[in-house]
Amino acid sequence: MDKKIDYLVVDTNSIMVITMDKKIDYLVVDTTAFIENAPLQNIAHNIVTIQEVVDEIINKRQLRRLVVLPYDLIVKDVFPENIRVITEFSQKTGDYPNLSATDIKVMALTYQLEKAEVGIEHLRKEPIVKSTINITTKPKEENIDLELNGFYMPKHSNTSTSDDSDDLKVELERLNLDHDQLEGNIIQNPISTANQDVSVNSENDLNDILPKHDDDDNSTETSDYDDEDDDAGWITPSNIKEIKKQINSNNVEEKCVKVACITTDFAMQNVLKQMNLNVSALDGRIIKELKTYILRCYTCFKTSSIMTQKFCPKCGNATLKRVSVSVDSNGKQKIHINSRRPLTARGKKFSLPTVHGGKHSNNPILSADQRLPDQKPTRLARTKNNPLGDDYIAGYSPFVMRDVNSKSAQLGIRNVKEVKHWMKKNPNEANRKRK
């Protein structure tokens, strides 16, 4: 049998060859790995990414690092059919609205390399739905319809309940009489019971009764406890590496793989792990549970599995919120609402702008069936005049005629999207406060 050599020293040149069996063959890299300057050469043999990830790096310091990488960075293109597979699968898991075009392409490249190197027989086509089992409470019995065709199911009579209630009244009256007699006996002789219960010998010394207390031992124990409390539990520069290893020891799963994707985006990790693709994380930042999301309206409590919807299909309001779902032991869907993210009044504090009509109105979209104007410029504004061109047809004037009189020209409507005055500074928009 052939055995691999871990360390090999060759004569005078002192060449050391180290074979790392746990290295990944192809590692698809997201932007976060380049931003944090991760040592990817120690993780994989081939570092692969897409052009959009490289374009996202705009910091000068990070660009200097990108120029002098200690490994060869391979930039590949993604096939459209792989992008389609990732898009459809992310819509099933409910993570599609939280993914950008670059994120989908990075996952599509991972799927493309996995398909070429390993195959797709082990990959899932449908996401896993989390199951929950309620142990504390018994499952509720379903109501059985009493009026079934061809069957007679008699109703329970009330005679037994009336008999039970009479017996209960008699028992309560007997207990009340016993209780009154017991109270009378206690009140007649209160002093005698007290003398019988409490008896103290006056000859005994007080020091013999009380337990001995050592002040010196107590002071030393308190000081030792204070010293231990001050030293333990704090994160210092000397023990931060050990604490990181302890935290990440349960999250790291080391195995020999051929293709993996390194990212810290939880939505990307959820889609990749749902498809049974390999995920590599920085500092152990990897998800522990796979989740499936749906939309739930917090006004009428209607649920929808179409994650691209903005308005509720029942009440029509823009009150849809993403929630995770699971299936219980009875096969029913259970919704998990995150109580740490309460509902806010964002977008409801200030009044909306006045609705304007006309051919070129630009009002905020408040419903799914709201009619929108075309916002097209006039035909005169769309004409192009190039007298020096090969296909130029001479008209009544070789000069350009500008449209300055129409309503669209006065409003400044071009082929690009128009920005109204109330869209430039929207009071309902959430802006980050400057520090």
Return the HEC string of 104-156. Answer: HHHHHHHHHHHHHHCCCCCCCCCCCCCEECCCCCCCCCCCCCCCCCCCCCCCC
Query: Mean pLDDT, 10 residues at a time, over the chain (435 residues)?
Result: 44 34 83 86 88 89 86 90 93 88 93 90 83 53 47 51 64 66 51 45 50 52 50 73 63 68 88 89 76 88 87 89 82 81 78 82 84 73 67 62 70 59 57 55
pLDDT of residue 103: 92
Of 92, 157, 159, 149, the C-alpha closest to 124 is 92
pLDDT of residue 251: 46
Are 253 and 272 spatial neighbours (Cβ–Cβ below 8 Å)?
no
Annotated binding site: 297, 300, 312, 315
Which residues does residue 320 pair with via DSSP β-bridges, in sequence order?
297
Annotated binding site for Zn(2+): 297, 300, 312, 315
Which token pair is 341? 């993210």
Of 385, 426, 382, the C-alpha closest to 408 is 382
CATH topology of domain 8-129+255-280: Rossmann fold (3.40.50)
Alpha-carbon distance 44 to 23, whole Å? 5
The alpha carbon torsion through 269, 274, 277, 282 (nearest 10 deg) reads 20
pLDDT of residue 365: 86
Stretch (H or E) spanning 8: strand 7-10
Alpha-carbon distance 172 to 29, whole Å? 76
Range 68-82 burial, b when 16+ CB lie within 10 A, else e: eeeeeeeeeebeeeb
